[in-house]
Structure 1
Amino acid sequence: MTFDIAIVGAGIAGASLAAAIGDRARIVLIEGEERPGYHATGRSAAFWSETYGGPGVQPLTTASGAALRAGGYLDPLGAVHIGRQEDAGAIAALLDEFAGTPVALSEVDPRPLVPGLRRNWALGVSEPTCAYIDVGKLHGDYLAAAQRSGAVVESSARLARAVRRAGAWRIDTDDGRSFAATMLVDAAGAWADEVAERSGVAPIGITAYRRTMVQLETDPPAPSAMPFVIDVSGGFYFKPEAGGRLWLSPHDEHAVTPHDVAAEEWDVAVAIDRFERAVDWRVVRVERRWAGLRSFAPDRLPVFGMAEPGFFWFAGQGGFGIQTAPAAAAVGAALLLGHLPPAGVDVERYLPARLR
C-alpha cells in the first residue's frame, strides 16, 4: 500500500503529529520498538512547566496548556525554583527571561513551601501553573486517535534505508518490510540523525542525552501538597508522587550514542547527595531507578519543517516534547498540509534551515 506520509517514530512526537493530521492524509507510523514510546515518552518525569526549556520553548508549552487541561491530562502541582544567596543572579535571570510573557512568576521565600528545606535555601520563585501530566494517557489517546483516522502503526520496524525516486519514498526495515510514501517524516527522537543518514539526508546535529530519575521512600514521606522543587542553578529537581513517594533527578545530561539507557549508580548517588544537602529528610531507600533519552538540536530548540524535497524534520524536542505536544503537532500538521500555524507561535524559529 502506498501512503501519503510515513512517520518514523511513534513516540509522543510521531503519535501526536499523526493525530493532528487525522484523516487528511494516509499515514503509516513506522516504530522501531515493540512498544511505541519506549525510550523517552515512557520514561518522562511527567510534569508540565512553562519555564522548562526556556523562552524559546515557552510559546509551544503555553499554547498547549488549554488543550491539555481540556483533555484532563493535567493535575495541579505548582513549582518553586529555589536557590541560595550565591544563586541570586540565577533567580534574577529566571525572572528576567520570562518578563513580558504570559508565565506567572513571583519571588517567594521557599522554606514555608518545602518542609525540611535547609535554611540557606532562602531564595525562591513560585510558578503556580506547573502541573502533573498524565503521559501514558496522552500518548495512548494520540495513538488511538491516529488509528481511528486510518493511520497504520507498524511496530518492531527499525528503518534500514529509505530511497526517494520519482517523487516517492521506498522505505525498507531491518526485518524485510517495505513501505511506499510521498512524504517521509523524521520523528525518531534520539535516532533522528541516524534516520536522516539512512534516507540520504544530511544530519543536523541532533544529540542524545541520558537523564536519570529515582523514586525514593523518605522520612518524612513527601507531602502531597508540596510543589515541584527545582534548583534554579540546575543541580536537581524533585516532586511528590502517590503514597508519599518522591521522584528525584540530578538534572544530569550525559551525551550518549542512542541505545536502551539505564540509570548509573554514580548518578543516583549524586542525586541523593544533592537532595540531602537541600533538605533534612532521610532517604529510607531507593525503590526504583531509571534513565531516559532526551535529544536536542545544537541550539536546543525543536526542529519542524522540510529540509529536502519530501523529507520533513519533526525532532529535537529535548525533555519538553510531551508538554508541547498539542502545539508542536499543530505546527507540524500545518507545515505539512500547507495550513496556517497556531496563533502566537513563531514557526520561523523552529525551521531546519536555521541549522544549515
Structure 2
Amino acid sequence: MKTVTIITSFIVAGILTAFFLGFNPVESTRTLEYDDEQEGLKEQMVIRFSHVAAENTPKGMAARYFAKRIQAKTDNEIQVEIYSNGELYQDQNEWEAVTNGNVEMIAPATTKVSTRFPDWQVLDLPYAFQGYSAVQEAYEGKIGQTLLEDLRGTNVKGLDFWYNGFKQFTNNKLPIHTPADMNKLHFRVMPGPVIKAQFQALNASTSELSFNKTYRNLEVGFVDGQENTISNIYSKKFYKKQAYMTLSNHAYLGYAVIINEDFWDSLSETHQHSLTEAMEETTDWVRRHSIEINDSHIRKIKRSSDMEVDVLTKQEEKKWREAFKPVYLKAEQDISKDLLKELERIQSNYSPQ
C-alpha cells in the first residue's frame, strides 16, 4: 500500500510539473501570429474553365496559356482549373453551365452562340473571310464588338474571340471537288442556322452531333463525313476514319470566350483589369500560333495516314461560292443590315485576286 502511494505521488507531481512548465495558460489566449500565406490560400479564387476541344488544339493551348498569365498577374490569387475534352460539360449544355454558375468560363464555337443570338450567324457565312487578316478585322473590329455586346443581359459577359482556323470537308465516300460531289452525303454538323442552310444548298443531309461523339459516328458509318479545322481533325483522330479531305477553306471556326457575369462582378477592379490583360495577351498568342498549329497538323496527317488530301482550284472555288449564294439570301432575314454591310466592307478589302 505504501508503494502504491509513492507511485501515485510521483505521477501527480509529474503532471503538475508538465502543466506549469510545458503549458502556459497565457500563451493559449494569445492571438495567432499573422500568416499572409494562409490568408492568400483562403482568399484564392478559382475559375473553372470548361471546353470540349483537345489540349493540343489552339483552344486547348490558349486555355493553358491564359491560366498561366492570370495566375502570374494576380500572384496566384486567381487560379484557373481547365476541364478539356468535355470532361465536365458537352457542347450542348455548356451554355447553361456558365449562365447558372456551375462553371465560370467556357469558349464555345461561335456557331453555337448563333442558335441563341441570330446576328452571330454572320461569322458562319460561307467564304465570309478571305484569309486570316480578314478574320482578325472582323473579330477585333465593329463586328466583334457588336456581337459581344449582344450577350448583355444573359448573365454572361463576352470577353474576346479566340482563333482556330478555316474549316475543311472530310468524308469516307469520294474525293470532293465540286458542290455536286456533296449530293446525298450525310454529314455531322454543329448546330447553327447558317450551317444547316449551307448543307441544304449542297443537297447533303446532316445530323447535329456532339463534338466528342463525332469520332464514334464516323467509325460506325452513321455519318459519311464532317467539316472542321485541321487541328480538330487531327487531335480527335477523325482522319483515321475518313478517306478523303478537301482543303476548301469554306468557312472560319473560332470561339467566343465567355465568363459568368455574377462571377465577373464579384472580382475587384484590380482582378478584372488583370483578367482583361491576360485575355488580351492570350488572344494575341492564339491568333499567331493557331496558324502554325494547323499547318503542323496537316503535315502530320499527310505523314501518318493514307488519307487523300485535295486542294480546290480557283475555278472549283468559284463553283462553291455560286452554290452558297442561297445561304446569304436566307441569312439576310436574320442578320442585321449593319453587320452585313460591315462584312461586305471587309470582303471588298480582302477580295480574291
Normalising TM by the smaller chain, what interval? under 0.3
TM-score by length of 1: 0.24
TM-score by length of 2: 0.25
The structure whose residues are more often helix, as a share, is: 2
The structure whose residues are more often strand, as a share, is: 1
Q: Which structure would you say has the larger Rg? A: 2
